[in-house]
């Protein structure tokens, strides 16, 4: 049989906010099927579907827009009037992409969208990964699928962020030099629950948020009494500041004084995990903590670098 249909990813939509720069997306349906073997037989004679979990995920390079929609504590899909929407964009046979109402649309009305990981390396663009815990309204499948749909208007790809220039990553008042990579694990432990033999869970929430930072550098002297001592370095929001530098479309970088960069502050105890790797790198880890006033990690998506 000939191949006549093929699809790819597209933008995603938070209510009416279209998020572009999507690099990965998937929609998994995890089905728990049980088939028990009884009476000493080698094969199961009985089988049924016990539970399903819809688990979409995606990644984007438009960090500022994404974090404004779903930051450190995520966002409830029920608070999005039009829900959260993903698309399967249809290829055109013998061409590029099919125009008009020819695509598949996936809509979630309940659940929670949480950031999972932000990562960036020297010479690369930062990416932000999200995971979705979808739930049912108690009657319907968590995901509504419709075909012959148009893609959202206003798809854009106008933002890229990367590591800042030297001197703009400060941990516990110590400048971390020769940075090769930065990774933020948002540490969100989300849960869903069901009852009454429902196939799909109907409740979702966040049980714990334990974010952490990991920085790799080729400056092995980062470990030392003048930088990060062996027993760690106490960090506060006042002395632990990191920037993600915005690239300039058609140029190099947006000017430091322009309020379009991303500023992060954090509190916790920084330690050196790997003093020296085989490629000459040192790894600094900073598990974050609540100081009683500020969230463990604060994020400003429209900041100047100073």
Distance of CA 115 to the CA centre of its chain: 4
Confidence band, pLDDT 50/70/90 cuts, at residue 105: very high
Average pLDDT score, the chain: 95
CB 153 within 8 A of CB 132: no
User: At 77, is the pLDDT very low, low, confident or very high (cuts 50, 70, 90)?
Assistant: very high
What is the per-residue pLDDT for 164?
Answer: 96
Per the CB < 8 A criterion, the answer to whether 267 and 236 are in contact is yes
1 located within any domain? no
Half-sphere exposure (Cβ direction) of 262: Cα atoms closer than 13 Å: 27
Mean pLDDT, rounded, for 113-126? 97
Percent of the chain at pLDDT > 90 equals: 97
Q: How far apart are CA 8 and CA 89, in angstroms?
A: 5
Tell me, yes or no, whether 189 lies in a domain. Answer: yes
pLDDT digits (tens, 9 = 90+) for 144-191: 999 999 999 999 998 999 999 999 999 999 999 999 999 999 999 999
* Partners of residue 103 on adjacent β-strands: 149
- Contact status, residue 151 vs residue 158, Cβ threshold 8 Å: no
pLDDT for 306 equals 87
Place of tokens 């906010």: 17
Q: Is 282 part of a structural domain of the chain?
A: yes
Q: How far is 180 from 213, CA to CA, in rounded Å?
A: 14
Q: How many C-alpha atoms does 37 have within 13 Å on its Cβ side?
A: 4
**Residues in contact with 229: Cβ distance below 8 Å, sequence separation at least 6, in sequence order:** none
How many whole angstroms separate alpha carbon 133 and alpha carbon 138? 15
Q: Tell me the C-alpha to C-alpha distance, in Å, between residue 132 and each of 50, 56, 139, 175, 207.
A: 21, 5, 20, 36, 15
- Is 84 in contact with 57 (CB distance < 8 Å)? no
Residue 16 has pLDDT above 90, yes or no: yes
Secondary structure (H, E, C), 64-114: HHHHHHCCCCCEEHHHCCCCEEEEEEEECCCCCECCCCCEEEEEECCEEEE
Q: How many angstroms separate the CA atoms of 103 and 105, rounded? A: 7
* Position 219 in a domain: yes
Domain count, the chain: 1
User: What's residue 273's pLDDT?
Assistant: 93
- How far apart CA 175 and CA 115 sit, in angstroms, is 27
Q: Is residue 130 part of a domain?
A: yes
Domain that holds residue 73: 7-33+49-303
Residue 39 belongs to some domain of the structure: no
Hey, what's the torsion of the CAs at 288, 180, 169, 65, to 10 degrees? -70
- Residue 24 clears pLDDT 90, i.e. is over it: yes
- What pLDDT is recorded for position 233? 96
Taking the C-alpha atoms of residue 272 and residue 215, their distance in angstroms, rounded to an integer, is: 10
CA separation for the pair 186, 197 (Å, rounded): 32
**Rounded Cα–Cα distance for residues 194 and 32 (Å):** 14
pLDDT band at 92 (very low <50, low <70, confident <90, very high): very high
How many CA atoms lie within 13 Å of 197's alpha carbon, on the beta-carbon side? Answer: 2
Q: Which of 145, 150, 146, 147 has its CA nearest to residue 101? A: 150
HSE-up of 229 (CA within 13 Å, CB side)? 9
Confirm whether 235 is domain-assigned: yes
Report yes or no on 86 lying in a domain. Answer: yes
Whole-number pLDDT of residue 219: 93
């Amino acid at each position: 049989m000939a191949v006549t249909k093929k699809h790819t990813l597209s933008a995603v939509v938070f209510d009416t906010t279209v998020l572009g720069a999507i690099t990965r997306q998937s929609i998994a349906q995890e089905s728990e099927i049980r088939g028990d073997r009884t009476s000493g037989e080698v094969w199961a004679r009985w089988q049924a579907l016990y539970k399903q979990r819809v688990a979409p995920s995606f990644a984007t390079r438009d960090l500022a827009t994404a974090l404004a929609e779903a930051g450190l504590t995520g966002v409830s899909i029920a608070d999005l009037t039009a829900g959260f929407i993903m698309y399967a964009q249809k290829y055109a046979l013998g061409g590029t992409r099919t125009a008009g109402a020819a695509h598949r649309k996936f809509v979630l009305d309940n659940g929670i969208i949480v950031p999972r990981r932000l990562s960036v390396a020297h010479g690369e663009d930062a990416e932000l990964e999200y995971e979705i815990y979808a739930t049912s309204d108690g009657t319907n499948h968590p995901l509504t699928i419709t075909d012959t749909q148009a893609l959202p208007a206003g798809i854009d790809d106008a933002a890229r962020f990367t590591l800042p220039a030297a001197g703009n990553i400060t941990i516990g008042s110590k400048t971390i030099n020769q940075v090769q990579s930065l990774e933020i694990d948002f540490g969100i432990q989300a849960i869903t629950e069901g009852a009454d033999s429902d196939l799909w869970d109907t409740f979702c929430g966040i049980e714990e948020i334990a974010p952490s930072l990991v920085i790799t550098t080729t400056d092995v002297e980062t470990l030392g009494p003048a930088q990060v001592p062996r027993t760690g370095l106490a960090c506060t929001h006042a002395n632990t500041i990191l920037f993600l530098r915005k690239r300039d479309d058609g140029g190099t970088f947006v000017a430091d004084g322009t309020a379009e960069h991303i500023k992060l502050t954090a509190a916790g105890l920084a330690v050196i995990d790997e003093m020296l790797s085989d490629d000459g790198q040192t790894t600094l880890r900073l598990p974050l903590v609540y100081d009683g006033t500020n969230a463990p990690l604060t994020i400003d998506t429209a900041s100047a670098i100073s």
